[in-house]
Structure 1
């Protein structure tokens, strides 16, 4: 049986023949270098229009081998379970595609061996750069990238061996706590009983938020009490257990600072099960619009994911990272309307 003929893939030589130009001119136009080599704009437009008309598609693998480029952009995140990391991934993908790159985002579940293995795998795939988000010990991963000659940026949690982009955790927590104290007082509660719940001791973001939290309490004339800072981790189950322990003493405190939306998920589950435990004012260092459905006051701090990703790409383009190799991005307060009444 005769083999069915297949349609031949268009090449730059086809474009050159159709436009009456050389293959090298076509190549310079298609890779965006035509202005640098003073190729006429009309010629460039004619080449691009012809490439589109005949359905030309670059052989990215062959091109990558020639240029020592893969057209791949890598990113590591802990998980997709909250809007912060999911938002970072989405903003990263958008920026990467704007540059003609194929984004690869991998979640590592805050597991150090997985983070190391994923980094090694992405390096083996010759990603053009790597953004490392939410990794507590990012220096090891930065070293792997440096040894492979791959640029990297630390995001959310900073390192010492590569530039970093972080939220203003301390300032944001201080502002969030100020509103929490004011809201508790407005409702006739005792702000001295406010508890901090969630996050990891020794982790940069948590430690900075604890400092901001205690600074705001001190401003309000409240002596910070270490026993009211419960760094139980980020998992909803762990936070649920922490809230259950607080309620076992009688009822929940008049105010709660919940450190992350996943810990807030644990509070929402507990509150649904035990509404009799009280209706505290809740402040969360994270943001999710569905929090507005809870029948109690909620104040949230939204991290600016779009601005953080923009800074990452600026650094990769060669822009200085600022003092200490770190860029700090301000978060935005969100006080849900109509929720701060008794």
Structure 2
């Protein structure tokens, strides 16, 4: 439709007046920066429609102003250093591509300022969807996605600003604690010698795993030792030091060890590598995480596997039926994988 102002080209002031928007808002929309400045997509669409109606001369394609599908979907996660996060990223990429989408994955090193910066950058690139994995406080990121009209799903750690899909940490921790207690009892050792090392106090996943650990003891009407739980972080060196301290006090390894993450488990391996074979053969070890390399270790280890395929599938289902008011929490069961079979497959692929 031609401009209603005969003999004069329409300006951003005309668009601002007709839409009830500020000239700065109109300018940001016409320059393609509406998402970066958290302008609602509805507002941007209204301004662009008005611009077309008034005959405002905009090269929509050249200036990237189309609000049609970008085909981009994003994921942020702490890092790729363990199989769980690497598996989340790889599965996300596979499932995104199977839907005809182009995935973008960025590691943010658990740095809150970097998490915000990366989120804002991805929104400015008009991602259609953002998965937020392993962020301890996803609310600021959820709020930015909401302001930009972009669906987001929290993974691994839940948040109050969007729907969340996480492993069933409590049930999983109870299941692996049950296995370790049974192994201790079969060896004639006392269950209260089982200790839980790793994780961050106050963090959702750690607190749920601690609760599951306690559940297994409570079901047997016994209690873990007063010092059985030590939240030494998700850090191999910190776990190594924590275990070394216990070894020094006891004069041996604890009879049972449950490590809260694969990185904490790495610290266990590093420390036990300094000991004689007899020292670690007397200990049963478990890990709330999974890696096939454990099949090749010279001591007994039970590993719990988180279902990354299910986590990502559930997240895409939420995204495809997205409700901005949805704050549901979906718990994905864990399981005990066949490490020996997986190790053989991994070795075969590496040859």
CA distance in 2, matches of 1:213, 1:158: 20
Partner of 2:228 in structure 1? 228
Shift of the alpha carbon at 1:278? Answer: 3.4
Partner of 1:310 in structure 2? 313
Residue ranges of structure 1 left out of the alignment (5+ in a row):
1-60, 338-342
After superposition, what is the alpha-carbon deviation per residue over 1:159-187, rounded to whole angstroms, capped at 9, x for unaligned?
Answer: 01100001110000001100000011112
Describe the SS at the equivalent of 1:227.
coil
Shift of the alpha carbon at 1:71? Answer: 1.5
CA distance in 2, matches of 1:317, 1:305: 18
Partner of 1:286 in structure 2? 289
- Single out whichever of 67-76 and 285-294 deviates more from structure 2: 67-76
RMSD (Å), alpha carbons: 2.1
Distance verdict in 2 for CA 1:229–1:321, change over 3 Å? farther
Alignment of 1:1-342 (within 5 A): 65-249=65-249, 250-275=251-276, 277-279=279-281, 280-318=283-321, 325-334=328-337
CA distance in 2, matches of 1:119, 1:268: 36
**For the Cα contact (< 8 Å) 2:236–2:263, is it kept in 1?**
yes
TM-score by length of 2: 0.75
After superposition, what is the alpha-carbon deviation per residue over 1:286-326, rounded to whole angstroms, capped at 9, x for unaligned?
Answer: 01111111111111110000010000100010167999511
Describe the SS at the equivalent of 2:227.
helix
How many residues get paired?
277
CA distance in 2, matches of 1:65, 1:229: 55
Distance verdict in 2 for CA 1:335–1:73, change over 3 Å? closer
**For the Cα contact (< 8 Å) 2:151–2:322, is it kept in 1?**
no
**For the Cα contact (< 8 Å) 1:169–1:212, is it kept in 2?**
yes
* Greater than 4 Å deviation, 4+ residue runs: 61-65, 319-324
CA distance in 2, matches of 1:323, 1:138: 15
CA distance in 1, matches of 2:79, 2:178: 30
Describe the SS at the equivalent of 2:127.
coil
Distance verdict in 2 for CA 1:179–1:336, change over 3 Å? farther
Describe the SS at the equivalent of 1:248.
helix
CA distance in 2, matches of 1:321, 1:211: 31
Distance verdict in 2 for CA 1:272–1:146, change over 3 Å? same
Shift of the alpha carbon at 1:277? Answer: 4.1
Shift of the alpha carbon at 1:95? Answer: 1.0
Shift of the alpha carbon at 1:68? Answer: 3.1
Describe the SS at the equivalent of 1:70.
coil
Shift of the alpha carbon at 1:334? Answer: 3.8
Shift of the alpha carbon at 1:70? Answer: 2.0
Shift of the alpha carbon at 1:114? Answer: 1.3
- Single out whichever of 273-282 and 125-134 deviates more from structure 2: 273-282
CA distance in 1, matches of 2:163, 2:226: 33
CA distance in 2, matches of 1:64, 1:144: 21
- Single out whichever of 245-254 and 62-71 deviates more from structure 2: 62-71
Shift of the alpha carbon at 1:188? Answer: 2.4
